[in-house]
Amino acid sequence: MTGKVWIVGAGPGDPGLITVRGLEALRTADVVLHDRLVAPELLAACPPDARRVDVGKAPGRRSVAQGEIAGMLVADARAGRRVVRLKGGDPYLFGHGGEEALALAEAGVDFEVVPGVTSALAVPAAAGIPLTCRGLASSVALVTGRRAADGDLPWEHLAAIDTVVVLMGAARLHHVCARLLEAGRDPGTPAAAVRWGTTDRQREVFAPLRELPEAFAGAGLGPPAVIVVGDVVGLGPRIRGSSLASVGGCP
């Protein structure tokens, strides 16, 4: 008796931004292994008797190892259950989805990946920031703040990209901004940090790159937040302050 696993992207925070296919998988699940920041409304969409397991990482508590999560997915599927691995954002963007998919493939377990709306795109949009815009930006780099802390990112190349988006970078904001400045990015480059993007708790701070860490701390903000650096960030206050219908387009 063999079940199936769905690796589902839950989206950036707003439960309404999950895909139709992802919601369908949740509504028929026997078991749901979910990340810590997944919206409660999505878990409520599961059948009442579905088993829900929080495998997310959180400060001050033991993290469930990736190998352990993969073992749970394989065991439940082999027991004939419909299993949903519900992950924040998109499973294949800094979400260990590739590792879990590989483990399922090697175990011979039937699975399907359901892409999600990544916070790298949705959160800037919620703050009025288009990542590309004619005349302002035609290239985008997506990086993780966790790797930035290791100092092994190609900062000289990143500094030359029009728009840089940093996920999981709030705790390392000083480091990220300092490295971009050292690599030659203009200190006056528009930058923003958006906390709890797409949710009713969203707050954002706009400031020149050299001032962003102080502005973020001064506003009393912290993780989780998405960091955006580039000329397109200058459009944020204009777009956020106008109805979309009145915004005529990018310069």
**137-176 confidence digits (pLDDT tens):** 999 999 998 776 566 789 999 999 999 999 999 999 999 9
Is the confidence at residue 61, as pLDDT, over 70?
no
Q: Do 142 and 230 fall into the same domain? A: yes
Domain boundaries, position 150: 119-240
Q: Which residue has the higher pLDDT, 152 or 126?
A: 126
Q: What percent of the chain has pLDDT over 90?
A: 85
Mean pLDDT, residues 30-39 taken together: 94
Confidence label for 58 from pLDDT (cuts 50, 70 and 90):
low
| 88 close to 118: Cβ distance less than 8 angstroms | no
Q: Choose the final residue of a domain: 114, 147, 162.
A: 114
Residues 169-200 pLDDT 10s: 999 999 999 999 999 999 999 999 999 999 99
132 and 212: one domain?
yes
- 31 falls within a domain: yes
Question: Quick check: is 165 in a domain?
Answer: yes
Provide the CATH number for the domain around residue 202. 3.30.950.10
pLDDT at 226: 97
Asked whether residue 249 carries a pLDDT value surpassing 50, the answer given is: no
Name every residue whose Cβ is closer than 8 Å to that of residue 29 and which is 6 or more positions away in sequence. Answer: 6, 46, 47, 50, 82, 83, 84
In sequence order, the β-bridge partners of residue 114 are 8
Count of domains forming the chain = 2
Together in a domain, 92 and 192: no
Whether residue 244 is predicted with pLDDT greater than 60 in this model: the reply is: no
What pLDDT score does 247 carry? 36
Q: Which of 114, 145, 163 is the last residue of a domain?
A: 114
Q: Is residue 251 part of a domain?
A: no
Same domain, 134 and 215: yes
**In this structure, are 102 and 162 located in the same domain?**
no
Burial environment of residue 53 by CB neighbours within 10 A (0 to 12, 13 to 18, 19 or more): middle
**Catalytic residue list:** 35, 57
The residue among 114, 137, 158 that closes a domain is 114
Whether residues 103 and 132 share a domain: the answer is no
Do 132 and 97 share a structural domain? no
- Pair (103, 135) in one structural domain: no
Q: Cis peptide before 224, with omega less than 30 degrees from 0?
A: yes
